[in-house]
Amino acid sequence: MRLQDALETSKNISNNLVMLSLIESAMNNILIDYTRLAEKCGFGEIADNYSQQLISISDIQDMHFIFLVKEKHKGFAGNNVDYVSVEHLAHDLRKLNKKIDLWHSTDQLFIKRKHKKGMKNILTIHDLNFLHEKKGIHRLKTLWKMKWHIRRSDYITVISEYVKDDLLNHIDIGNKPLDVIYNGIKDTDLERQKKPEYIKDDKKFFFTIGQTRAKKNFKTLIPMMKFLPEYKLYICGKPYSKHYYELQRIKEEWGTENVIFTGEISNAEKNWMYAHCEAFLFPSLLEGFGLPVLEAMRFNAKVFSSRFTSLPEVCKNHATYFDSYVPEEMAATVKAGIAQWSKDSEEAKAAREYSLGYTYSKYTQTYINLYKKMLGI
């Protein structure tokens, strides 16, 4: 009797293993590039939030996700997904021993993407800013890389109509399908706020954020503050290359002691700044999307923006636009705008309501639908 029980148990285990094997073989394995996870930039913000949103959806059938991350981030999203590291990509893929059915490249210039027969490829393009920033051989090399990635992709997504137009104006993508899928922003109602230590007094202030690159156009805000002495301006973000020293030189030249460079700040500090600033200033020259303007609207902050690239598309009529970059005229625009603004006004409520339409849940579901379409499920 014991022998029969043992045989029956062995048979059940064998059947279960066969069933598990059949289930696994029926699953579609989707690898998503999250190598920019935790970086203090738009790429990092998107990787953080899309990955978290994806694993929060419990009813995704017939799909198994594999996250491509840096070695130190393996396991960040729990045990319901697999991980391969960018540092040991070939080794980890061999060890994983799973056929990749779809590879989604969220970093538009990631150089280690694999190309295998039968595997579908989605490429997400965030911007073509290199065309407008770089020159000579550096511009040509980056353009060649972009064309190489596009040729090896089956489907292309972009994050704004502006990027779509910029892409089609500069690169022949042939007959490859192309969709605009916007970025989302976090539900800030659930986010923590923390007053930064550099806020030492109750003086009213303006806020802007971003790496101190030339394209952010922060250099126009520094002389403007000469004509707004009753306010401070906090420029928050990673000091970047030689341009940071150029901004310091402009500050010294204009004697604008009310301009403060804070360096990088935490998300909690960023949320506090949005919530307490008199206005959010974003004079950027080059954006593929422009997450900060929508984040500011979530906190009922008054937004001042440039009219360049994607920003009018993203802000629509919920921002005041700079039409001049003469310091006195910029200051006059800001004064007039904040004089007519309050955080509990109908205009502020309308801007917040508009920003609520850009959710990670909505756009993550759009990507899931695209995965299903490409895999025929």
Helix/strand/coil (H, E, C) string of 46-114? HHHHHHHHHHHCCCCCCEEEEEEECHHHCCCCCCCCEEEECCCHHHHHHHHCCCCCEEEECCCCCCCCC
CATH 3.40.50.10800 fits 19-184+359-375, yes or no: no
Spatial separation of the C-alpha atoms in residues 353 and 64, rounded to whole Å: 35
What is the pLDDT, as a whole number, of residue 3?
Answer: 56
User: Maximum CA pair distance of the chain?
Assistant: 96
What predicted TM-score, i.e. pTM, was given to this entire model? 0.89
92 contacts 31 by C-beta, under 8 angstroms: no
**Average pLDDT score over the chain:** 90
Tokens, residue 306: 């440039």
User: In this predicted structure, what is the pLDDT of residue 116?
Assistant: 74
The interaxial angle of helices 291-298 and 267-276, nearest 10 deg, is 60
Q: Please give the class, per CATH, of domain 188-355.
A: alpha beta
pLDDT level of residue 47 (50, 70, 90 thresholds): confident
pLDDT for residue 21: 46
**Secondary structure element (H or E) that encloses residue 305, with its range:** strand 303-305
Note the pLDDT of residue 42: 75
The predicted model gives 93-122 an average pLDDT of: 87
* Helices and strands (H and E) in the chain: how many: 14, 13
Q: Which helix (H) or strand (E) holds 224?
A: helix 221-224
CATH 3.40.50.2000 domain residues, the chain: 19-184+359-375, 188-355
- Residue 97 CA to residue 159 CA, distance in Å, equals 33
Q: Specify the pLDDT at position 38.
A: 80
Q: What is the pLDDT of residue 41?
A: 75
Per-residue pLDDT band at 11 (split at 50, 70, 90) = low
Strand 205-209 and strand 232-236: the pairing is parallel
Mean pLDDT of the region 114-138? 89
Instruction: Please name the residues in contact with 216: beta carbons below 8 A apart, sequence gap of 6 or more.
Output: 208, 210, 237, 283, 284, 285
Distance CA 224, CA 254 (A): 9
Mean pLDDT score, 332-341: 97
Q: Which of 366, 373, 341, 372 is nearest to 277 (CA)?
A: 341
Q: What is the pLDDT of residue 12?
A: 53
Residue 25: is its pLDDT beyond 50? yes
Q: What is the pLDDT of residues 209-226, one digit of tens each?
A: 999 999 999 999 999 999
Closest CA to 232 of 277, 284, 196, 296: 277
Low-confidence winner among 12-16, 112-116, 176-180 (lowest mean pLDDT): 12-16
